[in-house]
């Protein structure tokens, strides 16, 4: 039996209509244009226009993140899914993407510090943190631990795109990021929602040069 569904098969047209629908459905209010660009990508990744109301950010996160990437900054991710969501050919300097979570030393460090493997991996982020762009798409404990090591004097990243997801610690870790006052540009999504697709979409938007 031949069944042919009526759907749009042209990828450019799919993108065009998607972004048109997002712009019609979400109220970007007085958001700066370069922040709205990230917001559009975040909404695109999760299919939820209402997520725009939960976004929080510092106004320099797009420009500082983009400058860093152009200058060759490393990208540090908290999990493999976030890494794979990054569109590599959009990166301006063939930037290295580091996922220390998969390092063989992580389980041992987790035992030592009495924390999750995601948090333990942050010990291995330290030597790469300076000027890096950090992308967190999974673990609240990674974001909490990052804030702890930054408060304790670890080198500052250029930007934090912090989108951990879930029921235990996610909302709290993102509020901690918003309130941390550590002088690092950031973007986040309040509440339980988040995830690697959103986090990597935010990175992809930051990486894209709109000028």
- Catalytic residues, which ones? 44
Sequence-ordered strand ranges (E) for the chain: 55-57, 75-77, 97-98, 133-136, 159-162, 186-189
Residue 62 in the binding site for a second copy (CB under 8 A): no
Distance CA 123, CA 142 (A): 10
Q: Under rule CB under 8 A, how many of the chain's residues touch a second copy?
A: 55
Task: Give φ, ψ of 55 to 5 degrees.
Answer: -70, 145
Q: Looking at residues 86 to 125 of the shown chain, list those that interact with a second copy (rule: CB under 8 A).
A: 114-117, 119
> Residue 77 pairs with which residues in a beta bridge?
135
Interior angle at CA 125, CA 119 and CA 128, nearest 5: 165
If the CB atoms of residues 68 and 176 are measured against a second copy, the closer one turns out to be 176
**Site string (141-180) toward a second copy, x via CB under 8 A:** x--x--xx--xxx-----------xxxxxx-xx--x----
Pick one of 36, 41, 44, 101: the residue that binds a second copy (CB under 8 A): 44
Distance CA 65, CA 60 (A): 8
Q: Which residues bind a second copy (CB under 8 A)?
A: 1-5, 7-11, 14, 17-18, 21-22, 44-48, 79-81, 83-85, 114-117, 119, 140-141, 144, 147-148, 151-153, 165-170, 172-173, 176, 191-197
């Amino acid at each position: 039996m031949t069944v042919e569904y009526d759907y749009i098969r042209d990828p450019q047209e799919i993108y065009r209509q998607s972004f048109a629908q997002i712009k019609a459905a979400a109220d970007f209010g007085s958001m700066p244009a370069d922040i709205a660009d990230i917001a559009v990508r975040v909404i695109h990744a999760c299919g939820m226009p209402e997520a725009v109301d939960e976004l929080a950010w510092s106004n320099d996160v797009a420009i500082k993140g983009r400058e860093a990437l152009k200058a060759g900054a490393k990208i540090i991710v908290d999990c493999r899914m976030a890494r794979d969501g990054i569109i590599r050919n959009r990166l301006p300097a063939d930037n290295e993407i580091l996922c220390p979570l998969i390092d063989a030393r992580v389980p041992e460090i987790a035992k030592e510090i009495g924390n999750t493997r995601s948090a333990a991996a942050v010990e291995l982020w330290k030597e790469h943190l300076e000027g890096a762009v950090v992308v967190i798409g999974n673990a609240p404990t990674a974001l909490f631990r990052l804030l702890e090591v930054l408060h304790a004097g670890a080198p500052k990243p250029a930007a934090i795109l912090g989108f951990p997801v879930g029921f235990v610690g996610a909302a709290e870790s993102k509020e901690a990021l918003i309130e941390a006052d550590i002088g690092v540009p950031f973007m986040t999504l309040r509440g339980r929602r988040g995830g690697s697709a959103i986090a990597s979409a935010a990175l992809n938007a930051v990486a894209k040069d709109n000028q």
